[in-house]
Chain A
């Protein structure tokens, strides 16, 4: 790879590799070194054509539901069919940290797993010019049936020159989860169809419902968990988000960002939110679930598992799921295969198998991840699915309907970063510290100008 590049470029690349190397030495965290055991299979040849034993490593974050312990036991199944292949998964809980490490490893082509999961927020960066040629073209290698996936899911992982670098795992169709107890106490309807009608069609109606809730609300509770969560929910439902149609960052003029900002600010100013931060590491958000401190939370499909875990068995049956004001998609991932891996071909085959419709259905059945393949979404397994924690709620139906209404927005490579500034430094500042929204917006603009080196 390196020898083929020009002398000039090579010098710079070595320079940057050296930076990366220093960074690895300097940080020296378990995260960075934990699975840096590349070279496991040294001397075993490049392929497994001869049937020799190889190990495929797969790097994931959060919960993909593949593993043999709590997931759908897909690895055991694959190993049974391919006795010469062993599969090892290394998982990092925090998606942002996972991505930061992956970027570092990609820049030096070392320490990478054979398959790396990618979150949709970073897919534009992964398909962008700096990284596009680091990945195997899964449209050509591995035998994946691209036609089986939702068209927009494939498009998101396609590079400018038509290479497909990632195969879709799940998507994040969104609904609103609400606490029936609190709704009843606040004299609001509790039936999910009627609740959905309260705000159908417009986020402004959601805010109005919040005002109504506040009139009779039980003391110490809020209508929504967090203004930044609401911001993410609203922007997930907008056709234009952080980027313009060409995929260039243009958050300042985006109607979607404006709508999300205004809605979140209105909720914060109207004291409709619990002033929490989602996933906050001190567990305040989690504790608020347990103590029923808020009545609603924007609920992408993957949130149902979080509610179950955090609200705990004592709140079983209290939560229900209603249609969102506007359909949206929040989250979802891909599997990609770094080109530099020793077993790129076998890895591509495994990635294609893991993301095939049959496996999507198995993962959904165990982990609740909504599939990104068309037929699986309409299959009986998904349509008739119910989660015990939510009682008789037709979870599969609600989410597959929400999935049908998704219009994916263009993504720029800075989306993830700008979103963090908008929610953590903008909305959270308004909500927790009472900063004037105009000033907070200015601050976000300054942060983006200062910290994003475009």
Chain B
């Protein structure tokens, strides 16, 4: 098409040989030119850093200094470092206590929003508001609420006759406080994803269930949940990814000792440890090794996800 337009407007048409070459180029090369920006950007900002980090993780590199080959030593050092295992365990526990309640609450919220209720649009926007808040702002507010000496939460606990909780310096309270921030921010976001999935569930399924005398709860458990199972799996995987890379909330929650995740590393996550290694103590090789371990972890999670999805599809196929 394009070549014929060009030929008629150009006045003197190019020779037939060149024309067919141009035509072939147009068909074969132009699509690549059109998609090139993505791949070039990906190569520059995705692939190159990834490979380069891998190269760094095999060296001893100091900011401003030179690189020395170390082989797998950085990985070996991680395997024997109790700070690494501590960070890994913290990442896992904070991930669990933020993801599980978050997704359960999101399901409940989505179910409520799925009803015909007055001001539905307002509520839908409202649940998304926390997600639109910046991590920094949200965390700073929560850090004030959880302040051991002057915070609102301890004040309220005090009215109820409880001793003040050391929200930052004790391990579990600190992790719960951080999970609260994560949950607060992401519940609405997940709820909207669930809501979108729920609206795709055929209405006649509910009608049939209602005719059979199923309660709303029964409908939710037996119709809604099975129908949106792939979406649930999707949010689980996204949330797991998010919590594996948890950084801003613990960092800001800990304030001045945020990077080390509290005075006793009680809430230091993998990302914080990586940051501490790379930018505070300047050991870029070790930081890169942590980055690669995190990548492998995420790939592992992704692999499990694929397996579950596949078996789910198979079951569906064999079931139908």
Smallest distance from the beta carbon of B171 to chain A beta carbons, Å?
Answer: 9
A137 in contact (CB, < 8 A): no
A16 in contact with B63 given A417-B281, A425-B260, A453-B283 (CB within 8 Å): yes
The answer on a CB contact under 8 Å between A453 and B286 is yes
Please tell me which one of the listed residues B65, B67, B150, B279 contacts residue A100 in the complex, with CB atoms under 8 A apart: B279
The answer on a CB contact under 8 Å between A425 and B263 is yes
Binds B, one of A77-85, A281-289, A302-310: A281-289
The answer on a CB contact under 8 Å between B276 and A106 is no
B142-176 CB contacts (< 8 Å) to partner A: 143-144, 147-150, 166, 169-170
The answer on a CB contact under 8 Å between B67 and A12 is yes
Residues of A within 8 A of B49 (CB): 22, 26
The answer on a CB contact under 8 Å between B264 and A16 is no
A320 in contact (CB, < 8 A): no
Chain A, Cβ-Cβ closest to B68: A12
Chain B, Cβ-Cβ closest to A108: B64
Please tell me which one of the listed residues A130, A425, A432 contacts residue B265 in the complex, with CB atoms under 8 A apart: A425
How distant is the Cα of A131 from the Cα of B49 in the complex, in angstroms?
Answer: 26
B82 in contact (CB, < 8 A): yes
A92-107 CB contacts (< 8 Å) to partner B: 100, 103-104, 106-107
Smallest distance from the beta carbon of B210 to chain A beta carbons, Å?
Answer: 52
How distant is the Cα of A106 from the Cα of B60 in the complex, in angstroms?
Answer: 19
The answer on a CB contact under 8 Å between A12 and B66 is yes
Smallest distance from the beta carbon of A305 to chain B beta carbons, Å?
Answer: 19
Residue interface bits A368-410, CB-to-B below 8 A is 1, else 0: 0000000000000000000000000000000000000000000
Please tell me which one of the listed residues B45, B263, B284 contacts residue A19 in the complex, with CB atoms under 8 A apart: B284
The answer on a CB contact under 8 Å between B61 and A16 is yes
How distant is the Cα of A150 from the Cα of B285 in the complex, in angstroms?
Answer: 40
The answer on a CB contact under 8 Å between B63 and A281 is no
A193 in contact (CB, < 8 A): no
Residues of A within 8 A of B257 (CB): 277, 424-425, 428
Residues of B within 8 A of A107 (CB): 63-64
Smallest distance from the beta carbon of A395 to chain B beta carbons, Å?
Answer: 28
How distant is the Cα of A438 from the Cα of B27 in the complex, in angstroms?
Answer: 74
Please tell me which one of the listed residues A9, A15, A26, A429 contacts residue B264 in the complex, with CB atoms under 8 A apart: A429
Residues of B within 8 A of A429 (CB): 263-264
A155 in contact (CB, < 8 A): no
A433 in contact (CB, < 8 A): yes
Residues of A within 8 A of B77 (CB): 450
Residues of B within 8 A of A450 (CB): 77, 81, 83
Interface size class of B (residues with CB under 8 A): 35 or more
Smallest distance from the beta carbon of A203 to chain B beta carbons, Å?
Answer: 23
The answer on a CB contact under 8 Å between B264 and A277 is no
A1-26 CB contacts (< 8 Å) to partner B: 9, 12-13, 15-16, 18-20, 22-23, 25-26
A205 in contact (CB, < 8 A): no
Give the one of A23, A106, A130, A433 with max B CB within 10 A: A433
Interface size class of A (residues with CB under 8 A): 35 or more
B101 in contact (CB, < 8 A): no
Number of A-B contacts defined by CB within 8 Å: 104
A451 in contact (CB, < 8 A): yes
A446 in contact (CB, < 8 A): yes
Please tell me which one of the listed residues B81, B144, B169 contacts residue A433 in the complex, with CB atoms under 8 A apart: B169
A49 in contact (CB, < 8 A): no
Residues of B within 8 A of A25 (CB): 45
A345-366 CB contacts (< 8 Å) to partner B: none
Tell me what chain B mostly uses at the interface: helix, strand, loop, or mixed. Answer: mixed
Residues of A within 8 A of B61 (CB): 15-16, 19
Please tell me which one of the listed residues B63, B170, B277, B284 contacts residue A451 in the complex, with CB atoms under 8 A apart: B277
A435 in contact (CB, < 8 A): yes
The answer on a CB contact under 8 Å between A432 and B64 is no
How distant is the Cα of A443 from the Cα of B86 in the complex, in angstroms?
Answer: 13
The answer on a CB contact under 8 Å between B282 and A103 is yes
Residues of A within 8 A of B286 (CB): 453
Please tell me which one of the listed residues A12, A18, A20, A452 contacts residue B281 in the complex, with CB atoms under 8 A apart: A452
How distant is the Cα of A130 from the Cα of B266 in the complex, in angstroms?
Answer: 34
How distant is the Cα of A12 from the Cα of B45 in the complex, in angstroms?
Answer: 21
Residue interface bits B262-283, CB-to-A below 8 A is 1, else 0: 0111100000000011111111
Residues of A within 8 A of B67 (CB): 12, 15-16
B20 in contact (CB, < 8 A): no
B255 in contact (CB, < 8 A): yes
The answer on a CB contact under 8 Å between B64 and A281 is no
How distant is the Cα of A452 from the Cα of B283 in the complex, in angstroms?
Answer: 7
Smallest distance from the beta carbon of B50 to chain A beta carbons, Å?
Answer: 11
The answer on a CB contact under 8 Å between A432 and B263 is yes
The answer on a CB contact under 8 Å between B281 and A451 is yes
Residue interface bits A104-135, CB-to-B below 8 A is 1, else 0: 10110000000000000000000000110000
A152 in contact (CB, < 8 A): no
The answer on a CB contact under 8 Å between A432 and B279 is no
A280 in contact (CB, < 8 A): yes
Residue interface bits B198-216, CB-to-A below 8 A is 1, else 0: 0000000000000000000
Give the one of A12, A18, A19 with max B CB within 10 A: A19
The answer on a CB contact under 8 Å between A280 and B264 is no
The answer on a CB contact under 8 Å between A18 and B260 is no
B34 in contact (CB, < 8 A): no
Residues of B within 8 A of A19 (CB): 52, 56, 61, 63, 284
Please tell me which one of the listed residues B65, B150, B255, B277 contacts residue A280 in the complex, with CB atoms under 8 A apart: B255
Residues of B within 8 A of A287 (CB): 149-150
Chain B, Cβ-Cβ closest to A447: B83
How distant is the Cα of A75 from the Cα of B283 in the complex, in angstroms?
Answer: 39
The answer on a CB contact under 8 Å between B166 and A18 is no
The answer on a CB contact under 8 Å between A424 and B256 is yes
A16-B66, A22-B49, A433-B266 provided; 4 other pairs, C-beta below 8 A?
A16-B67, A287-B149, A428-B263, A429-B263
Give me 30 A-to-B residue pairs in the complex whose CB atoms sit less than 8 angstroms apart, sorted by A's number: A15-B61, A16-B66, A19-B63, A19-B284, A20-B64, A23-B278, A25-B45, A100-B280, A103-B282, A107-B64, A277-B256, A280-B255, A281-B256, A282-B143, A284-B147, A287-B150, A417-B281, A425-B263, A433-B166, A433-B170, A433-B263, A450-B77, A450-B81, A451-B283, A452-B281, A452-B283, A453-B60, A453-B281, A453-B282, A453-B283
What 5 A-B pairs have minimum CB-CB distances, sorted nearest first?
A: A107-B64, A281-B255, A453-B283, A428-B263, A432-B169
What residues of chain B have their CB less than 8 Å away from a CB belonging to chain A? 45, 49, 52, 56, 60-67, 77, 81-83, 143-144, 147-150, 166, 169-170, 255-257, 260, 263-266, 276-286
